Structure 1
Amino acid sequence: MAPENGNLTEFLREADSQPEALADLIEFYRTEGAPLLTRWRELLAKYSRVEFIGMGTSEIAPLLIRSSLASAGIGVSIVDAGEYVHYHNADPAEGTLSVLISQSGESAETKKATAALAGQGAPVAVIVNDEDSSMAAAAKLVLPLKAGDENSISSKTYLNTLSVLHLMAGGELAELDKVAGTIGRGLDKPAIISAAEHLMPADSIHFIGRGPALCSAGQLALTFMEGAQAHGRAFTGGAFRHGPYEVLGPGHRAVVLAPGGRTVKLCLAMANEMAGAGSHVVLVTDLDEIEPRENLVVLKVKNPVGERTFPLAFARVQAWLLHHVARLRGYEAGFLSRVSKVTDVE
């Protein structure tokens, strides 16, 4: 069982080094990495569609920029790399640019997809943390994460993947500077613990978001299964009304992500409806004026930029929430017994 106080677990040490990892990424893309972003923009301008291919966190992260690219007239698809390898044509449709994401650059399925695409002569861009990896060697363009070594559940690499994607969709380094400064400040740990306690027994949790916050919902669901052995499922706000709403009630647990943005009123209304029906709801928001109510705990996130940077601003808080839910359930987030950090088998 993870310690409540005292020495930090490896997962928390890595999560708490997110500000430094992001600062390293910013410095790289402000200096020697700047030409890589220029090359990306030049490459993207030649295509009308982008397909993101990855597994786990690397499949979830592009949800951050899907709507931004679509609003710019660029078609977007996000594909499970294993499904791509076995069920998709390895020769992408004309006008499609493939972007493959793997923190290690050695994930079994994504590595196969990269090799297949490169073998067809397709333009391939990769986002990796290991610049000496197999995927990096096969790619036309490599966008490094600069997250440093990571041995536990994705935290630094998750944040830096979101940050690279933000830049790829036209985000500014100055915006990332603001995020880095904000997440480096002290956390409201009592509020995080209160949120974790509200989710108990946390056997099953629904994570609900819209727009860019869908990547937070997906990452929460993935890592809560991985780190707290809780059954997690991510939903869009709309999809959750189409059937799953029947589970509302005292035995139901949910996290609703409600950053200020175009759908915040819908998210707030849903959270309040769910709490009114007896569900235990943790509402995560960057709005100061939202107050708790019966069955509703509010977890506030400092977000200095806008709706698209909310998942970045929430990343460190998210890791600590996972840690405390796992601790209360008797587990140590980051201690893996059935899988390894790099999944190198299908």
Structure 2
Amino acid sequence: MSSVRNVTFNFRDGKATSVAVQQGESVLDAALAAGIPVIHQCRSGSCSSCMAKLVEGRAGMRAGASSTLLRSEYDAGDRLLCLTEAETDCTFALNYASDAGATQAVQAHAFVDSVDKVATNVVRLRLELAEGAWLDFKPGQFIQVRVPGTNVTRSYSPASTASDLPKIELLIRVLEDGVMSKWLELDAKPDDVLEIEGPFGSFFLREKVPAPHIMVAGGTGLAPILSMIDSLRRQPGRKPPILLSFGCATPEQLFCLDDLELRKQWLPNLTTRISVDHHASGDLLAGNPVDAIRDADVTHENAVAYLCGPPRMIEAATTKLVTLGLRPENIYAEQFAPSN
């Protein structure tokens, strides 16, 4: 029996390409060696950037590996290509166009503009790229930031857009004993220099989709969603209806509510639902952002959804939206990966 498997990649734009994968070789390594533009980043199973759908054949996770995939996602055919070995000839579907992975990550320096606490556990960090530096990104993608004085990097999705460059805005959850959190609270100040790299990730706004957009955000998962909303606002022509369901644990943890109200003035087609798990009052809904999704929200056969937040929220939102009639291939998600 041959130890070489033929693996085919089907891109969202209809293009397909194949590569020979050796026994024991990861599908991602084989693809990159052949110049196939598969989006990736960590190559260790922690970021989910290289996720693809197994649609034909058998391919499993290499022995001893661990990943951020939920069991339900794995059972549905999702695979992290950096940890996947082909057991037979097989085919993977990639939920992006063949040119989406063509943008190479670059390293750059950025100055701190401001550091502001916008909720009990969220800091807004505003940066400006150093003169001569450039770092392009699609709305929803993330960058890596090195914590000053360490070799530790953290991944954050800008709340700003590429149109705002050289300015970059990040929304960062403050974690007890977090390396970045300690720097932000104790040492960060204007004009500090940060090393950043990007862009990374396959979670980004798909352009020119006129159908309704459903966006579900938990906590700082709002950041890439804000970038997407602003990008939609700036696109020429008619804007699609947008529903944003955003939630946190308590009212004290909510943030950017004034920013959302301003965007509703700019975008009459934008509807927001804000929820908290505990102590809801006034206009706040009780429960999580998935609870706020209603049966009548999925009315268009080509509606798309963007989800960003903790794994359980992603799983619950995906299940609910599919049950309501949304096509699984029209759901794009980015789940939080734990900081090590």
Q: Give the TM-score of the pair, scaled to structure 1.
A: 0.29
**Bigger relative contact order (CA 8 A; separation at least 6):** 1
Normalized per residue, the structure richer in helix is: 1
